[in-house]
Amino acid sequence: MTTAIAIEDVRREVQILRALTGHKNLAQFYDAYEDDENVYVVMEGGKYSEDDAKTVMVQILSVVAYCHLQGVVHRDLKPENFLFITEEENSPLKAIDFGLSDYVKPDERLNDIVGSAYYVAPEVLHRQYGTEADMWSIGVIAYILLCGSRPFWARTESGIFRAVLKADPIFDDAPWTSLSPEAIDFVKRLLNKDYRKRLTAAQALSHPWLANHHGVKIPLDMIVYKLVKAYICSSSLRKSALGAVIRNSTDAVKDSRVLDYVSMVGSIQYRKLDFEEFCAAAISVHQLEGMDCWEQHARLAYEF
């Protein structure tokens, strides 16, 4: 019965496409054919490349990083809430619909469940979330842009929520096998169910998948301010452990934009940090745990 209904749905779609063909803003329908096993719908061609997805992601992350720096969490990020300014192929994007947005402090957690089911973060369903929830939504958007399907799907809203909480996105099937490892890593680090290990908007713009893309301007990141404050108040043992980690991490981790963040901690009075201390303070251990090389760095730090 389901198969018969599905076939009828396809035939109705073909009939509608044939009736509507000709409008400049509709994908051109050419013809449809069927054999004993398949239905073939021939339509206007065109490919959405990985570079196209990069261009969109840079713009989305730029505006979201700006919002987060102002203490605003959007809470309803999805493709429908980003509009092109013109019909030109390279038109810039603009974010819209701040009806569900709210102010949130760095250490504050919100508790109302809002947003669109396919894009809602796990911690939103647990009623304990902050700006990290927006980054999950961006991860869902990136997944869709790169492969054309949703990472979490079900027929009902409750089913979608269960998938968001329990299921893992699929990266083994096409077209993921033909995409760059950097693109896959980028999406995985946004769709991490542990919000503490998720990239911030500024960190996402610094990710190797996007860092060299034209037009990337990496903003300051409030997470560094929060981490440095926590470091200053932490125990000597924790400071020593973080120092050992930073001494055994790569130069890229040690030197990446650290000087840009120095001005952010000007309001933290009566405490001087040398360069190595600041690097240690700016580390998010939770985010390091989300990296493949975490165990190696931790082992080296322990041996040190």
How big is the chain, counted in residues? 304
Please name the residues in contact with 195: beta carbons below 8 A apart, sequence gap of 6 or more.
Answer: 121, 122, 123, 129, 130, 132, 133, 135, 136
> Where do we find the tokens 């790169």?
146
Catalytic residues, which ones?
Answer: 76
Cα(153)–Cα(151) distance, integer angstroms: 7
Cα(34)–Cα(7) distance, integer angstroms: 11
> Where do we find the tokens 């500024």?
202
> Where do we find the tokens 């799907």?
153
Q: What angle do CA 204, 208, 209 make, to 5 degrees?
A: 80
Please name the residues in contact with 123: beta carbons below 8 A apart, sequence gap of 6 or more.
Answer: 129, 132, 133, 195
Name the pairing type of β-strands 102-103 and 72-73: antiparallel
3-state helix, strand, coil in the chain (%, to 5): 50, 10, 40
Read off the tokens for 234: 């932490």
Cα(142)–Cα(232) distance, integer angstroms: 36
Cα(183)–Cα(143) distance, integer angstroms: 9
Dihedral of CA 249/182/61/136: which sign? negative
Cα(249)–Cα(238) distance, integer angstroms: 17
